[in-house]
Structure 1
Amino acid sequence: MKRFVVCIAGALAGIVASSGAMADPSFPASLDSKASPFMRVYGPSQAPYGFVRFCESNPQACAPQRMEDVRFQPTPERLSELDEVNRWANHVIAPATDQEIYGVSEFWTYPVDRGDCEDYALLKQSVLLARGWPKSSLLLTVVRDEKGEGHAVLTARTAQGDFVLDNKVDDVRLWNTSGYYFIMRQSYLDPRVWVSLDINDRTAPDAIAGVREPH
């Protein structure tokens, strides 16, 4: 489907200035597939430029509300909601680049009928918040995908593990079966703050600096 290719490196541009989830067979198994189902924070990170601009236009969406350190304990019904919302958004929104829609290279917003990867993630976050999910569990996340390109997904931080809601794949998966290289995500304590992720055998700040450069 077209949504496999439309979300390009824009997710990284401007940074310098019981689960029931199954891995999609079209993706290689992650090198971290035996790692913990819970992602760990490495340290602070600079928020993507598109996200900063989004918060300027949508301050309420970025305001801390019900942010909790304790992981959300989902019921089976709640976990099924992740799958339902992921599939719904993937099929109701047509994939298109920011350049095609807005004439700019990077623009984070809630999609109406078309959008790219971060727009899908924002929509899923909004829908799940409206359904009663805590804000501390629904975190915008930046990765490098199977092609090494910048990509944005929504991760659901739960007591069962960290699940990935991805516009490329309808199945909701644990992060360590996604095949992606995880770079940064929103802090679960303050959605305006972004943190780098300690899940790729990083041992020095230089490793972080290398992935911060614009694509």
Structure 2
Amino acid sequence: MWSNSRWRAVVAAAALLATGCQNASAGFIGMPSMLGSVAKRISFGNFTLPPMAYTQFCMRYQDECKEERIVFRGGPVRLTEQRWADLKEVNNTVNSSISPEPNTEGLAAEKWLINPARGDCNDYAVSKRSQLLARGWPARSLLLSEVVTSWGEHHLILVVRTSAGDLMLDNLTPQIRAWTRAPYRWVRMQTPRNPNYWAAFGNRSVTG
């Protein structure tokens, strides 16, 4: 059981995750091999607390937060034609099946739900991760990531680590993009070794 001081710290960290998240219609860029040098991988910073809503998510969906019971090899998933088809299908299915419903009630109403009828960015991100896990993708390659948009809104996306670089599945755009293609400030992200450990990024931003 966590101490009261640590719980307060988690609550403070979770308060950063904002509430308004919009949806986008489905569509995709070409194979990541066409992205050239922009398809790079993100480097991690220091460990940090996960969002409190993530802790609640793990209480609701315990299987989604299990550490992989295999020797960690650390390498990215090879992006085969079938893997690319998986990404496109899951991205399209989730973006089209969840109707956007921004959370206007703040942290107290924050819920990360898998495949709800209506939801915000958190629900899109965890639903995509869950569906890819069900298709056999390793958890180490599917990392929930908190960013800040150019208009100052905290936003949750799914980063997929592949041999073509780190790619984003993001409900704000219909495209599957290299992480360097979004004008976001990166806040924190799950680490590949254990989904319950998150790393911070300081003030790292991408402008291209």
Which residue does 1:194 correspond to in 2? 198
- Which of 125, 132, 154 is the matching residue for 1:128? 132
Q: How does 1:94-109 map to 2 (within 5 A)?
A: 94-99=99-104, 104-109=108-113
Contact 2:32 2:164 in 1 (8 A): yes
Structure 1 SS opposite 2:32: coil
Counterpart for residue 140 of structure 1: 144
In 1: Cα distance, 2:197 partner to 2:14 partner = 17
Structural mapping, 1:42-81, within 5 Å: 42-65=45-68, 66=70, 68-81=73-86
Question: CA–CA distance in 1 between the matches of 2:34 and 2:111?
Answer: 30
Secondary structure in 2 aligned to 1:97? coil
Tell me if the contact between 2:116 and 2:123 (Cα under 8 Å) persists in the aligned partners. Answer: no
Q: SS at the partner of 2:78?
A: coil
- How many percent of aligned residue pairs carry the same amino acid? 31
- Aligned-residue CA RMSD in angstroms? 2.8
Q: 1:123 and 1:189 mapped to 2: Cα distance?
A: 21
1:1-215 aligned at under 5 Å gives the runs: 13-14=14-15, 19=32, 37-65=40-68, 66=70, 68-99=73-104, 104-197=108-201, 200=204
**8 Å contact from structure 1 (residues 94, 115) kept in 2:** yes
| Aligned partner of residue 45 in structure 2, secondary structure | strand
Secondary structure of the residue aligned to 2:145 is strand
The one-letter amino acid of 1:71's match is: P
Q: Which runs of 5 or more residues in structure 1 are unaligned?
A: 1-11, 23-33, 202-215
- Correspondence for 2:7: none
For structure 2, the residue ranges without an aligned partner over 5 or more in a row are 1-12, 18-30
Deviations 1:32-91 (A, max 9, x none): xx7671100011011001001111222221011255411111202212321221122111
C-alpha spacing 1:20/1:179, structure 2 compared with 1 (3 Å): farther
Deviations 1:136-183 (A, max 9, x none): 101110000121210000010112100000011111000001111111
- TM-score w.r.t. the length of structure 1 is 0.73
Contact 1:14-1:50 within 8 A present in 2 as well: no
* SS of equivalent residue, structure 1 residue 112: coil
Tell me: higher relative CO, structure 1 or 2? Use CA pairs within 8 A at least 6 residues apart: 1
Structure 2 residue matching 1:111: 3-state secondary structure: coil
